[in-house]
Amino acid sequence: MSKTIIVSNRLPIRIEKEDGQKVYKTSEGGLATGLGSIYKEGKNIWIGWPGISLEHEEEQEVEKELINRNMRPVFLTEDDVEDFYLGFSNQTLWPAFHYFIHHMRFVDEEWEAYYNANRKFADAVSKWLEPDDIIWVHDYQLMLVPEMIRKQFPNVTIGFFQHIPFPSYEVFRMIPWRKKLLNGVLGADYIGFHTYDDMRHFLSSCHRLAGYSYERNQILVKNRLVEADSLPMGIDYGKYLESATSQLAKAKEISYRDSLGSQELILSMDRLDYSKGIPGRLQAFDKFLEKYPEYQGRVSLFLIVVPSRDQVASYKALKEKVEFLVGHVNGKYGTINYVPVHFYYRSFPLDDLSAFYRMCKIAMITPKRDGMNLVCKEFIASREHEDGVLILSEMAGASKELSDAILVNPNDQNEMVEAIKKALEMPLNEQKRRMKIMQRTVKKYTIFQWVDLFMNNLKDLKERQQSMATK
Ligand code: G6P
């Protein structure tokens, strides 16, 4: 029986050392949940990095433990982490793909490290691959893996999904290794993006930079039919609804409310990342309180920033900027019994998040650029009483599906200020009208539906390729 091999930079588990002991922490992330239904079944496996650099002697023991959990580790050295992960992946590709071109750098050694690390992942696939297996590679850290596998196994079935945006050709062409990256991805049969625009940018780059012609969403790569597609990723709707309606979340909400008082709360929750537009949101909130002083004392921003990539200079600088702005707004408008910005620099377990989703009537998700954004979908799923308002950046992939949010351009401070006012003053029936529509969408297109669709489309394409070959 054939199996499915999932490949991503991170495994759905992270090893951390606490008092010298290894602790295995399972990821709560959307992808881990969605693909859980696949990799935990039968012979299926998930290949990836366990998030820690280990001594050689420790690797065997970890591998054994992970094999029991249907996972196979790719061990990265500290140098790999520095140059492949923090370097090329997150200081060349990440900024380029999010249109932060002033943050991107081009370092030959980091490109080489990216190539070599991709080779490690491809080798791990080869090690475990059996005839008729299906391989599904994820995200920008592993763009070369599909081609590396294809060269060794010309007929194997490979899917690739890009979780972050794919930029316009004009930005993508700036990367010196652009053609190699495209050919890397084109080793896959079926290539998924969150939005139609990401797919279109990819196809246009394939044509203009690598000389491939395409018709609709199909490209012929050395006589092999490759298809690109847009498949917006969803969430486990039931899990968020269930958690938000649990006794625990309700009890937490009541106890937090007791301390907070009756202020209206605006939720902002992101990983620490310049693409998320956190400073712009704080500045908009500052302007809002200045322009509409009647709201001072009546509304607070509930700002959660989850630590991420904090060894990278631009992330460190961002943290300082956010801390400065929080201090600035709190110093300007705070009183003995009014905290304008409640700031938390840490992650929270699901029942806390659910309590936050319950108690904040407004969620303000205004990234400068985001492949999809699942936080806004989690907020929607958690609104048991169908009330609440979502302020959403039009630069987030999710905005294509959630047009009943108040959509804003995150670079337009005045528009964001007015959006906050509109959200606070939106009549209940209008909130419900919009929320119901958004709930219907998020409930229908779940992460499970996304996984099934991707796998079915991939298999279907493979069959079409085979019937083309026999004609
Ligand atoms: C984004 C990327 C993922 C990545 C995640 C967390 O969602 O699409 O591939 O894993 O950010 O970033 P990290 O650098 O901690 O893996």
Give the Å distance between the CA of 164 and the centre of ligand 1.
Answer: 9
Distance CA 298, CA 294 (A): 8
pLDDT in tens, 150-202: 999 999 999 999 999 999 999 999 999 999 999 999 999 999 999 999 999 99
Q: Among 6, 7, 9, which residue has the most ligand 1 atoms within 8 Å of its CB, making it the best to mutate?
A: 9
Average pLDDT, the chain: 96
Quickly tell me which residue has 């982490």 as its tokens: 81
Nearest CA to ligand 1 atom 16: 10
471 has a pLDDT exceeding 80: no
What is the predicted pLDDT for the residue at 389?
A: 99
Q: What is the DSSP letter of 80?
A: H
Q: Which residues line ligand 1 (CB under 6 A)?
A: 10, 139, 163-164, 308-309
β-partners of residue 158 are: 135
ipTM of the complex: 0.98
Pairing of the two strands 134-138 and 157-161: parallel
Of 13-17, 137-141, 169-173, 199-203, which range is least confident?
Answer: 13-17
Q: How confident is the model at residue 437 (pLDDT cuts 50, 70, 90)?
A: very high
Query: pTM for the full model?
Result: 0.97
> Are the C-beta atoms of 187 and 212 separated by less than 8 Å?
no
Calculate what percentage of the chain has a pLDDT beyond 90: 93
Would you state the pLDDT for residue 291? Answer: 98
Residue of the CA atom closest to atom 10 of ligand 1: 10
Provide the residue type at 300 as one letter. S
Number of C-beta neighbours around residue 313 at 10 A: 10
pLDDT at 402 over 90: yes
Using an 8 Å Cβ cutoff, are 303 and 270 in contact?
A: no
Contact 367, 277 (CB under 8 A): yes
b/e code 147-167 from CB counts within 10 Å (16+ = b): bbbbeeeeebbbbbbbbbbbb
Residue 283's CB: how many other CB atoms inside 10 A? 17
Q: For ligand 1, pick from 140, 271, 314, 372 the residue to mutate: most ligand atoms within 8 Å of CB.
A: 271
- Of the chain, the percentage scoring pLDDT greater than 70 comes to 100
Q: Best substitution site from 137, 194, 308, 311 to test ligand 1's pocket, by max atoms within 8 Å of Cβ? A: 308
Given a cut of 90, whether residue 385 has pLDDT beyond it is: yes
Q: Which atom of ligand 1 is nearest to the CA of 163?
A: 8
Protein residue whose Cα sits closest to atom 15 of ligand 1: 308
As given in the structure block, the two tokens for residue 75 are 């061990």
Ligand 1, atom nearest to 141 Cα: 9
Q: What is the Cβ-side half-sphere exposure of residue 15, based on CA atoms within 13 angstroms?
A: 22
* pLDDT tens digits, one per residue of 282-296: 999 999 999 999 999
Going by C-alpha positions, the residue among 378, 404, 400 that lies closest to residue 391 is: 404
Atom number of ligand 1 nearest to Cα 90:
14
Give, for ligand 1, the residue of 163, 273, 276 to mutate: max count of ligand atoms closer than 8 Å to Cβ: 163
**Which residue has its alpha carbon closest to ligand 1 atom 6?**
308
CA of 219 to the centre of ligand 1 (A): 28
Residue 174 C-beta-side C-alpha neighbours within 13 Å? 17
Ligand 1 atom closest to the Cα of residue 85 is 14
Rounded to the nearest angstrom, the distance between the alpha carbon of 73 and the centre of ligand 1 is: 17
- Of residues 19 and 295, the one with the higher pLDDT is 295
Strand arrangement of the beta sheet that strand 214-215 belongs to: 71-73, 45-49, 4-10, 134-138, 157-161, 190-193, 224-230, 218-221, 214-215
How far, in Å, is the centroid of ligand 1 from the Cα of 208? Answer: 29
122 close to 45: Cβ distance less than 8 angstroms = no
Q: 3-state class of 192 per DSSP? A: strand
- Residue 447: CA count within 13 A, CB half-sphere: 22
d(CA 333, CA 345): 21
Predicted local distance difference test score (pLDDT) of residue 468 = 83
Residue nearest to atom 14 of ligand 1 (CA): 309
